[in-house]
Amino acid sequence: MSSEVNLWRASSREHFAAPPLATSREVDLAVIGGGFTGLAAALEARRHGASVCVLEAQTVGHGGSGRNVGLVNAGLWLPPEAVIARMGPTGGKRLIDTLAEAPQRVFDLIAREGIDCEATRNGTLHLAHAPAGLRDLQERYRQGRAHGAPLRLLDAAETARRTGSRAFHGALFDPRAGTIQPLSYARGLARAAVRAGAEVHEQSPVTGLQRAAGQWQVTSRGQSLRARHVLVATNAYHLGFHDPFAPQIVGVHYCQYATDPLPEPLRRSILAGGEGCWDTALVMSSFRLDQAGRLVIGGIGNGDGPAGRVHAAWAARKLARLFPDLAGLPFRHGWSGRIAMTGDHIPKIVAFGPQAYACFGYSGRGIGPGTVFGTQAARALLLDRPDLLPVDPLRQHREGFAGLRAAYYEAGASAVHAIAAQGSVGARAGLPQAGASSRA
Ligand X SMILES: Cc1cc2nc3c(=O)[nH]c(=O)nc-3n(C[C@H](O)[C@H](O)[C@H](O)COP(=O)(O)OP(=O)(O)OC[C@H]3O[C@@H](n4cnc5c(N)ncnc54)[C@H](O)[C@@H]3O)c2cc1C
Q: Binding segment for ligand X among 55-63, 395-403, 407-415, 425-433 (CB under 6 A)? A: 55-63
Under the binding rule (CB under 6 A), the answer on residue 187 touching ligand X is: no
Pick from 5, 18, 28, 64 the residue near ligand X by CB under 6 A: 64
Under the binding rule (CB under 6 A), the answer on residue 67 touching ligand X is: yes
Toward ligand X, which CB reaches closer, 129 or 348? 348
Under the binding rule (CB under 6 A), the answer on residue 235 touching ligand X is: yes
Per-residue contact track with ligand X, 14 to 33, x per CB under 6 A? ------------------xx
Toward ligand X, which CB reaches closer, 108 or 155? 108
Pick from 8, 36, 141, 331 the residue near ligand X by CB under 6 A: 36
For the bound state, the minimum distance from the C-beta of residue 206 to ligand X, rounded and expressed in Å, comes to: 4
Q: How far apart are CA 112 and CA 105, in angstroms?
A: 10
Toward ligand X, which CB reaches closer, 205 or 308? 205
Closest CA to 155 of 139, 168, 141, 142: 168
Residue 169: count other Cβ atoms within 10 Å of its Cβ: 18
For the bound state, the minimum distance from the C-beta of residue 395 to ligand X, rounded and expressed in Å, comes to: 20
Residues near 102 by Cβ (< 8 Å), separated by ≥ 6?
72, 73, 74, 75, 367, 368, 369, 371, 372
For the bound state, the minimum distance from the C-beta of residue 183 to ligand X, rounded and expressed in Å, comes to: 10
Q: How far apart are CA 282 and CA 51, in angstroms?
A: 45
Closest CA to 126 of 175, 87, 171: 171
For the bound state, the minimum distance from the C-beta of residue 427 to ligand X, rounded and expressed in Å, comes to: 20
DSSP 8-state class, residue 120: B
Helical packing angle, 36-47 and 367-383, nearest 10°: 40
Under the binding rule (CB under 6 A), the answer on residue 245 touching ligand X is: no
Under the binding rule (CB under 6 A), the answer on residue 73 touching ligand X is: yes
Indicate the Cα dihedral angle 52, 57, 58, 61, nearest 10°.
-50
Pick from 29, 42, 70, 317 the residue near ligand X by CB under 6 A: 70
Pick out residues in 122-151 that bind ligand X (CB under 6 A): none
Under the binding rule (CB under 6 A), the answer on residue 118 touching ligand X is: no
Q: 221 exposed, middle or buried (CB, 10 Å; 0-12, 13-18, 19+)?
A: middle
Pick out residues in 357-376 that bind ligand X (CB under 6 A): 362, 364-368, 370
Give the Cα-Cα-Cα angle 288, 290, 296 (nearest 5 degrees): 45
Closest CA to 176 of 154, 140, 152: 152
Under the binding rule (CB under 6 A), the answer on residue 339 touching ligand X is: yes
Toward ligand X, which CB reaches closer, 94 or 253? 253
For the bound state, the minimum distance from the C-beta of residue 377 to ligand X, rounded and expressed in Å, comes to: 11
Size of the site for ligand X (CB under 6 A): 42
Q: How far apart are CA 223 and CA 362, in angstroms?
A: 31
CB 376 within 8 A of CB 390: yes
Q: Binding segment for ligand X among 4-12, 35-43, 165-173, 401-409 (CB under 6 A)? A: 35-43
Under the binding rule (CB under 6 A), the answer on residue 337 touching ligand X is: yes
- Secondary structure element (H or E) that encloses residue 256, with its range: strand 250-261
Residues forming the site for ligand X (CB under 6 A): 32-38, 55-58, 62-65, 67-71, 73, 205-206, 233-240, 254, 337-339, 362, 364-368, 370
